Amino acid sequence: MDADDAVLAAAGDAKAFERLYHRHVARVHSLARRMIGTDLADEITQDVFVRIWEKLGSFRGEAAFGTWLHRVAINVILGRRKQLGIRRERFADGDKAIDKLSSNPKGVETAIDFEAAMEHLPDGAQQVFVLHDVEGFKHGEIAEIMGITSGTSKSQLHRARMILRDYLDR
Amino acid sequence: MNDQWTDRLSNYLDGELNVAERAELEEHLSSCAECSAVLEQLRQVVARAQSLENRAPDSDLWSGVAERIGAAAAVADLDEHRQRKQERLGQRRYSISLPQLVAASVALMVLSGGSAWVVSKAGGAAGEGAMPTATNGTALVSEAPADLATSYDAAVVQLELILKESRSQLDTATVRIIEENLSIIDRAIAQAQRALAMDPASIYLQEHLAATKRQKLEFLRQAALMAGAVS
C-alpha cells in the first residue's frame, strides 16, 4: 500500500501523499517529540513531511517506505537540533533537571510520565537513548547517524539509563 | 558498588562485553546486591522504553504540510478537473512545442532501451542470481495488486480518458506523437513486467517498473495539461 502510494506521490499525486502522511504521522511525531521535545514536535513533523515530499523521487524501494521515511525523519530532526542548538543547559546539569519532575508514583506509572522524564535528559544522551532503546538502532548505526563514536554512544546511553533509573526509582 | 562496575552494566545488558569482561562482571554481581539492584532497574528502563507506543499529534498537521507542498492548489481530485476541463473545451487548440516533444521522446527512448537491457539481463543473468534481490518482502511494485483497483491504475485510466476526451484540443501531429510515445512507454512497462515475472524478488526490476509507471503517469499528466484538460 505504501509502495503504491509512494509511486503516485512521486508523480505529484497529493492525495496519495496525504494517505502516506496519515499512515506515518504518529510515528514521526512521536520520534520528534522524544528526540527534540514537545514544543517543537508539530513544526518538525511538518518539516519532515515536506522533506519527504521533496525527496520522494529519490526513494528507490531498496527498503520499505516506512524505513526510508524514518531515516529521513531522523536526519531532519538531528539537523534541526544542530541548527537550533537547543537545551545547551542540559549538558551541564541534566541530572538535576530531571529532579524537577514530580516523583513517579508507584503503581501509577504511565508512558506519558516516562516520556516527560525522557524530555529532561541531557542533550546527546536523549537522542542516543531514543535511537537505541526506543527505535532499536545499534551503536554503530547511531555513531554514523549522529557523527559520534560508538564509545560515545555507549556512554551517553548508559548516562541516560542511569538518570531514568533514578526517576523510576523515586 | 562503584563506578568501575556500574559503568559496565549497560554494556552487559546489551551484550557488548567480551567473554572475559562478562565473566568478571557476573562474578561481581553474584556478591554485590547493590549492583544487582541497579542492573534490574536498568532492565526496567529498557523495558519501559521498548514498550512506548506512538501517538498522533493532538492537532491536525496535514493542512500545514499541504500548504507548504502546494497541495492545496494542486491537481488532486481528477474528477473535479474533468469537470473544469468540460468548461474549457472548445475554447482553443493546443500544440505541444517541439522541444517538449523532443525531450519526451529522448526520455522514452532511454526508458525503453533500459527495459530492453533489463529484459535481456533478466533472461540471462537473473536466473543465476546476478540481480539484486529482495530479502524482506519490501517489494515496491510486487505488493501492488495487478487489477484496476489500485490507485495507480485508476489514475492512469482516468488520465487516459481525460486525454481521449480532450484530443480535439490538440492538433493531429501532436496527438500522433503522444500516442506513439505512450505506446513506447506501454511496451517498456510490459517488458519490465515480463522481466519481473521471471525474477519477482529483484529489487532492481521492481524499481525499474515503478520508475516506468511513474514516467507514464507523469507523461499523461503533462499531456492532459497541454490539452487543457487539467490545470
Percentage of residues of chain B with pLDDT beyond 90: 25
Interface touch B57/A25, C-beta < 8 Å: yes
Q: How far apart are CA A164 and CA B47, in angstroms?
A: 12
Q: How far apart are CA A67 and CA A51, in angstroms?
A: 15
Q: How far apart are CA B65 and CA B54, in angstroms?
A: 20
Among chain B residues, CA nearest to A154: B11
Kindly give, in sequence order, each residue whose CB lies less than 8 Å from that of residue B118, ignoring residues fewer than 6 positions away: B191, B192, B195, B204, B205, B208
Interface touch B76/A13, C-beta < 8 Å: yes
Picking from A115, A35, A116, A39, the residue whose alpha carbon sits closest to that of residue A76 is A35
Angle at B128 between CA B127 and CA B134, to 5 degrees: 75
Q: How far apart are CA B119 and CA A147, in angstroms?
A: 42
Among B residues 136-175, those touching chain A with beta carbons less than 8 Å apart? 136, 138-141, 143-144, 150-152, 155
**Residues making up chain B, counted from first to last:** 231
Q: Does A106 touch chain B (CB under 8 A)?
A: no
Whether the per-residue pLDDT at A24 is higher than 80: the answer is: yes
Among chain B residues, CA nearest to A41: B57
Q: pLDDT tens digit string along B103-139? A: 555 555 555 555 444 444 444 433 333 333 333 333 3
Sign of CA dihedral B7, B10, B16, B17: positive
Rg (CA), chain A: 17
- The reported pLDDT for the residue numbered B197 is 78
Task: Find chain B residues with C-beta within 8 A of A7's C-beta.
Answer: 140-141, 152, 210, 213-214, 217
Least confident stretch, A109-123, A153-167, B138-152, B204-218: B138-152
3-class secondary structure for chain B? CCHHHHHHHHHHHCCCCCHHHHHHHHHHHCCCHHHHHHHHHHHHHHHHHHCCCCCCCCCCCHHHHHHHHCCCCCCCCHHHHHHHHHHHCCCCCECCCHHHHHHHHHHHHHHHHHHHHHHHHHHCCHHHCCCCECCCCCCCCCCCCCCCCCHHHHHHHHHHHHHHHHHHHECHHHHHHHHHHHHHHHHHHHHHHHHHHHCCCEHHHHHHHHHHHHHHHHHHHHHHHHCCCCC
**Burial class of residue A90 (count of CB atoms within 10 Å of its CB; 0-12, 13-18, 19+):** buried
CB atoms within 10 A of CB B33: 9
Q: pLDDT tens digit string along A102-161? A: 555 444 456 668 888 898 899 899 999 999 999 999 999 999 999 999 999 999 999 999
User: What is each CA distance from A31 to A156, A165, B206, in whole angstroms?
Assistant: 18, 21, 30
ipTM > 0.90 (yes/no): no
The alpha carbon of residue A7 is apart from the nearest alpha carbon of chain B, in Å, by: 6
Q: Does A29 touch chain B (CB under 8 A)?
A: yes
Q: How far apart are CA A31 and CA B36, in angstroms?
A: 32
Average pLDDT of the residues of chain B? 70
Q: Is B147 left (phi over 0), alpha (psi -120 to 50) or beta?
A: beta
Task: Find chain B residues with C-beta within 8 A of A64's C-beta.
Answer: 136, 138
Whether the per-residue pLDDT at B199 is higher than 70: the answer is: yes
Interface touch A10/B54, C-beta < 8 Å: no
The alpha carbon of residue B207 is apart from the nearest alpha carbon of chain A, in Å, by: 6
Picking from B125, B207, B49, B2, the residue whose alpha carbon sits closest to that of residue A34 is B49
Q: Check: pTM over 0.90? Answer yes or no.
A: no
Task: Find chain A residues with C-beta within 8 A of B155's C-beta.
Answer: 8, 13
- Where are the alpha helices (H) located in A11-108, listed in sequence order? 14-36, 38-55, 65-84, 89-99
Half-sphere exposure of A31 (CA within 13 A, CB side): 24
Grid cell, residue B209, equals 517498473
